[in-house]
Amino acid sequence: MSRKSEAKKARRRKRQAARGPRWFDAPEDEGLLVDEVITSRGWEFDVEFSTDEMVTWYFPASGITSDDEAVETVTRIWLTAEEEWHVILVGSGADGVDYVFSAESLLENLETIEAYRAGDPLPDFE
């Protein structure tokens, strides 16, 4: 990668980091509440994988090491522009389950999501 394109990517990441999860601009949006709750519990906003159409957080405490790029190395939450909250659990491969929640349901199941570790039986969400 050229220095020019690397510098451009670095500037973009810096802008996104400064903007953070403020992608949610409606005052009634539950996204800000969810962001406050999950970041207070140790989730980290993922600048690298967040875009204008999707924002994502990951749970470092769930992390594993894997040489297989198809394996998810942390549990992730992401919010789409359609206001759908998605979760993919650590250790999931290409055939992993993409769980979809409402904001309320996500917060109700957050403890179960955080407790999951690679190799555990898949949780049964309500």
75-123 confidence digits (pLDDT tens): 999 998 888 999 999 999 988 899 999 999 999 999 999 999 999 999 9
Residue 46 has pLDDT above 50, yes or no: yes
Residue 45 has pLDDT above 90, yes or no: yes
What's the confidence (pLDDT) of residue 19? 52
pTM for the whole structure: 0.75
Q: Whose structure tokens read 């600048």?
A: 47
State yes or no: pLDDT of 73 exceeds 60.
yes
Q: Give strand pairing partners of 80.
A: 54
User: What residues contact 72, with CB distance under 8 A and at least 6 apart?
Assistant: 88, 89, 90, 91, 92, 93, 96
